[in-house]
Structure 1
């Protein structure tokens, strides 16, 4: 089946009224949670997971995906208008978006952000449609050894390449792997690490873990930092039209940002963390007047938003075709697929072509809906920011408790959410990122399964991971990433030592 025929097949399913309805709900809620500070895509997807049990699987995935890429644009609204990033990735947008708003050009900044988000999403979607079948064919040749090495690469990339301390990220990955081992052993059927609690025989609930880490902990942190109601600026739709000079600067930045976001989007664990910052750094490096950045440069907004959106689209490439999360949110999407009995991987395109291509087409429809919706609804989104925090956060906590209880109708899961929420808040105070923990939790059981399967097939010979060329190559990349992280840490310590002695700091 050719790509055009496959897209037409997906178009027939994606344009069904049910699919369109849930796609609309997803992008609407995604923009909403992106606008609200402290409420990100992870918390929203976690809250919606119990509801997806009663929705057809393809429509449920389209809705959850709409929340994901819808929040990419929604986060830029609060960043530009109030200098409050709705999502962590949108923090880069505020560097130049908020100064433009203070200059009375908030409408132009929002228009550039919306356009860049749409361009990045569509171009990233084209890469998903073209690269998906290619990666699927390559993945068909993978065995347990290759899958083990690939998942190990994803975990190491999440800790060694991600933002913050590599040691802390690696510790979070290990903690996630340990939490993933709780429950029944897949080979022997014996219960392990449940501490005598029968509720943990099936392991820790993924929904409870996600809600606690990214929902409750963020609510606690945001409640400490909130300051009541905020005033929002007002502007007309006519003021959103940019000048010719703005377009001449923004369009090349969109294309460069799309390329950067697409590259990092296909790399496990790095899409949302690195691509906006890399795009911003590239634009500042290429600019003839770099001193404009931080004072209202449209290139900074265009590059960051296009890289954000293209990374969100291409993050689905390894998730759908290889079963490896390309982003921290993709780890939860992977868990959602498994909850619906869908096994992402090389066989997904051949065994479920309608589902794969209808998802691809629904992503395009969702981005078109975002383009149409957000122009007239900007006033609504800014009005929502006037809701007092004292009313907003109790409602979120109630929804978290109701959502996690509805999964298994078990109060124990609510206790788990409370405990993990407190743990997540403590980790945030110590600058431990929860994202690697979730990646380790989702990939841990799959990593263990493929490790033990490969050793069973090789009769316990560990050389099977080195004798197979693809596996050996992936393990070499893992080793290179670990060495890179170690060298970077040593250089950082050396710089600090030079600074303390008052010597010259080597760049």
Structure 2
């Protein structure tokens, strides 16, 4: 392991890799600070511009953007009460009241440093869990991989807020999209209206449509964003160390919560931040201050949503199962560069996961420094007129789609998925299960058919295999329990 860690660290001897991390962090702060964008959209937009880069530089840039964007939402949450990302909503509950009290600078300092500490600790948790997980995964066969894929899908659909049924429907739609193209075994075309679809639905244009272009349509419905008063940010460099000493247990607990939640496919940073905030309030000696201006609340939310990033990356790299919508996009980015996430990645291309790990270590001081020095600048991006943001995002989406194949077919896919994504969001259907199903669909189908070939068509092989049986039970419970809770809640109402 030590040799591979040194291999990852040595990647930063290259100026291009260091520069990629810096640029990714800068873009991430801008993306995170603009309400409505977020890391998934940012990574989707940036992928087409990494085609000419080597795989290591491109993935470092994308991970740097991911980390910085996850934090960037806290800046506008604290200063303007306008969370840049869903994961920063809980941050605004205490950050903005602190700002109104004249402590906005201190709140930003706490959020930035707590985020950095959470990211640093969780990166070591990633090191000591992802590698053993990949080693275990190497011993698994198609029977177990089919069950693992089902668990990923079931958790993603079941954790779709309070809409497990809509999440399951969205997952089913994503699976239908995943089956478009030539049959992987027989070569027979499936759901292919033209030859362009023989290779399946192109992932990057679909991502650009579902996340970027659909967001443009949403923006155009709200052209008059409410402006929030900008309170002075005095004291951003004047936070006493005694305050961080008081917050040490909150930061540590929130790091663990964030990482563990991040490992669960479909949960994501927003779920982690809400759970950590709730736990911090429950265990606080002054719970009455939460919602009125509590540094504990700010630290809990920001630590958790950043440590969830490391948790999201662990199943993506070790098993090939994305932990969130953003890591599903990162899977697509790796595939574009000829790298297949999964257990073999740590043996065939160890430079990729260990460079990602090193980028988390190098990225922490960069993120903290840029955040502290440029907080006022990042906050100004929230005041960019909505039509300007919409035009830029739309232009980048269509240009990026065209760049994937230098043809108008991916552009048409982007527009179609943009309209589809907009309709899903208007009907309150989550889009994350669609992307996760689109990514995992081929893995599930291929391993299902391999397992049946090995067993001569005996479907009971999934029940006689102990690992598969346990995973299938987990998958079934993940599907049913959220729906049962919803029905019980509806019945009581």
TM-score by length of 2: 0.96
2:348 aligns with 351
1:263 aligns with 2:260: yes
- Pick from 405, 420, 425 the counterpart of residue 423 of structure 1: 420
The farther-off stretch of 38-47 and 386-395 is: 386-395
1:244 Cα offset (Å): 6.1
**Residues of 1 paired with 2:142 and 2:227: CA distance?**
54
* Greater Cα offset, 283-292 or 470-479: 283-292
1:90-129 alignment, distance < 5 Å? 90-129=88-127
Q: Which moved more, 1:407-416 or 1:227-236?
A: 227-236
Deviations 1:425-448 (A, max 9, x none): 221122111111111111111111
Trace 1:206-355 onto structure 2 (pairs within 5 A). 206-227=203-224, 230=227, 233=230, 235-236=232-233, 238-243=235-240, 246-355=243-352
C-alpha displacement of 1:208 = 1.4
Structure 2 CA distance for partners of 1:436 and 1:163, relative to 1, 3 Å: same
For residues 188 and 309 of structure 2, the distance between their equivalents in structure 1, rounded to whole angstroms, comes to 39
Aligned pair 1:80/2:78, yes or no?
yes
What is the alpha-carbon distance in structure 2 between the residues aligned to residue 345 and residue 308 of structure 1? 24
2:462 to 465, 485, 490: 465
Contact 1:31/1:71 (8 A) holds in 2: yes
How big is the shift at 1:288?
A: 2.5
Q: Does 1:188 align with 2:195?
A: no
Deviations 1:277-306 (A, max 9, x none): 111111111123322111111111111111
| Structure 2 CA distance for partners of 1:223 and 1:97, relative to 1, 3 Å | farther
Q: Distance in 1 between matches of 2:438 and 2:7?
A: 35
What is the DSSP-based 3-state SS (H/G/I as helix, E as strand, rest coil) of the residue aligned with 1:84? coil
Shift of 1:234: 5.3
| SS across alignment from 2:66 | helix
Deviation at 1:248, TM superposition (A): 4.4
**Partners in 2 of 1:359 and 1:54 — Cα distance?**
19
Which residue pairs with 1:23 in the alignment?
21
**1:489 CA displacement:** 2.1
CA distance in 1, matches of 2:331, 2:458: 31
Cα distance in 2 for residues equivalent to 1:268 and 1:148 = 15
Q: Which residue of 1 aligns with 2:357?
A: 360
* Structure 1 SS opposite 2:383: coil
1:493 aligned residue (470, 474, 490): 490
Is the 8 Å Cα contact of residues 210 and 438 (structure 1) preserved in structure 2? yes
**Paired residue for 1:450, among 444, 447, 452?**
447
Alignment partner of 2:247: what SS? Answer: helix
Q: Is the 8 A contact 1:172 1:434 kept in 2?
A: yes
The question of whether the paired residues in 1 share the 8 Å contact of 2:157 and 2:479 is answered with: no
Q: Match of 1:461, SS? A: coil
1:106-128: CA deviations, max 9, x gaps? 10111111011101100110011
Other-structure match for 2:66 = 68
Q: Distance in 1 between matches of 2:352 and 2:388?
A: 40
CA contact (8 A) 1:272 1:311 kept: yes
Contact map agreement 1:69 1:313 (CA 8 A) in 2: no
Aligned equivalents of 2:483 and 2:370: distance in 1?
A: 47
Aligned-residue RMSD, C-alpha: 1.7
In the other structure, the counterpart of 2:143 is 145
Partner of residue 177, structure 1: 175
User: For 1:105, what is the secondary structure of its paired residue?
Assistant: helix
- 1:385 match: secondary structure: helix
Whether the 8 Å contact between 1:228 and 1:390 is mirrored in structure 2 is no
Structure 2 vs 1, CA of residues 432 and 237 (structure 1 numbering), >3 Å: closer, same or farther? same
- What whole-Å deviation, never above 9, does each CA across 1:122-146 have from its counterpart, x for those lacking one? 0110011111221111111110010
Deviations 1:462-489 (A, max 9, x none): 1111122111111111122233223212
Aligned to 1:503: none
Structure 2 counterpart SS, 1:187 = coil
Which shows bigger deviation, 413-422 or 313-322?
413-422
Q: Distance in 2 between matches of 1:305 and 1:365?
A: 19
Q: Mark the runs of 5 or more structure 2 residues left unpaired by the alignment.
A: none
For this pair of structures, how many residues does the alignment match? 493
Q: Is 2:263–2:323's contact at 8 Å kept on the other side of the alignment?
A: yes
Single out whichever of 119-128 and 459-468 deviates more from structure 2. Answer: 459-468
Partners of 1:173 and 1:440 within 8 A in 2: yes
- In structure 1, distance between residues paired with 2:399 and 2:137: 39
Gaps of 5+ in 1: 497-507
Preserved contact between residue 61 and residue 337 of structure 1 (Cα < 8 Å): yes
